Amino acid sequence: MKKAEIRERFATIATLPDGEIRLDEAALLIAAELDDGFDVARYVTRLDNLASRFETAYDDSTPLGISISSLTDFIHKEEGFTGNVKNYYAPENSYLNRVIDTRHGIPITLALIHIAVGRRLELPVNGINFPGHFLVRYGTDKHLIVDPFTGRFLSEPDCATLLKQIAGPRAVVQPHYFEPSDNKAVLLRILDNLKKIFWQNRNWEHSMSCIERQLLLRPEQNEFNVQLGAVYEMQGKVQLAQHTYTTVLQISDDEQLKSLASKRLLALETTSPTIH
């Protein structure tokens, strides 16, 4: 697929009701736009094959019909998926195709392996937007929490300890931290991770690509438009930046965002060269 076709397909997916989004395909499309030379369908098939290889290990005597511990062992021990500790902030950790190839990733992309395989096996499995560390939840009422970075099962006290490590000793676990994440929120978080890396590396084109796709997923979130204006500033595209900030002032109901856009507009006006 060409880049324009990839973006068009992602845009189509972004308009679907959340429950109809095929998360692994959408994540692969994110990778396809920034990592040329691979076939999305081929990697979807590789995920199909992962689920097929596990089917012989079914234990239908368990409440979920499958031993979740067996599935977790299959993903992390037999197939070797694990967290990339040595190179955590490399962009390829956010590309699902590279995670499938290398068996290394970050929590959210390793969670996609659990979600992709689990859903093919008709398991109730979802991602959890836990603060600072994406987790996986199996089940509904009595759920099991898995850390996809390590393959460990986590109790709620374990999660409380993890939160304190991430957010400080005073952090307290809230019930909504364990709520299942919708598909668009997962894709937004993947794009946000990539955007932060590209921003730090001053790669404005790739930063803009991430923001544009976040806007496709959540066009009503004007903070993405403010970020887009900032990218235009960094690229020296003053008129585009001014237009973007002006649009935020016109359509946003968020006073904080409007104040930020107004300040950026004023800064651009005072730094623009005067022509005599």
Share of the chain above pLDDT 90, in %: 85
Average pLDDT for 51-60 = 76
For residue 50, the model assigns a pLDDT of 96
Indicate the domain borders of the chain: 3-178, 220-271
Residue 207 has pLDDT above 70, yes or no: yes
In terms of pTM, does the model score above 0.85? Answer: yes
Which residue is listed with tokens 């403010």?
226
Assess whether pLDDT exceeds 70 at residue 59.
no
Q: What is the mean pLDDT of residues 237-260?
A: 95
pLDDT computed for residue 141 by the predictor: 65
> Which long-range contacts link 3-9 to residues 24+ away (Cβ below 8 Å)?
3/33, 3/36, 6/32, 6/33, 6/40, 7/33, 7/213
Residue 272 pLDDT > 60, yes or no?
no
Q: CA-CA distance, 151 to 16, in Å (whole number)?
A: 31
Sequence-ordered list of residues with C-beta below 8 angstroms from that of 272, at least 6 positions apart, any chain: 238
Whole-number average pLDDT of the chain: 92
pLDDT at 208: 97
Kindly give the interhelix angle for 23-34 and 40-54, rounded to the nearest 10 degrees. Answer: 140
List the beta strands (DSSP E) in the chain: 82-83, 104-105, 125-128, 135-138, 144-147, 152-154
* pLDDT value at residue 274: 45
What's the mean pLDDT in 194-210?
97
Read off the pLDDT of residues 131-150 as tens digits, 9 standing for 90 and up: 999 999 998 766 799 999 99
Average pLDDT over residues 199-212: 97
Instruction: Give the C-alpha distances (Å, rounded to integers) separating 71 from 76, 145, 271.
Output: 9, 13, 58
Q: How many CB atoms lie within 10 A of CB 128?
A: 21
- Provide mean pLDDT across the span 196-225: 97
pLDDT at 58 over 70: no
**156-163 mean pLDDT:** 94
Residue 143 is predicted with a pLDDT of 79
For residue 168, give the 3-state DSSP assignment.
Answer: coil
Percent of the chain past pLDDT 70, that is, above it, reads 93
Q: What is the mean pLDDT of residues 228-234?
A: 97
Lowest pLDDT segment from 29-38, 93-102, 155-164, 257-266:
29-38
Judged against a pLDDT cut of 90, whether residue 239 lies above it is answered with: yes
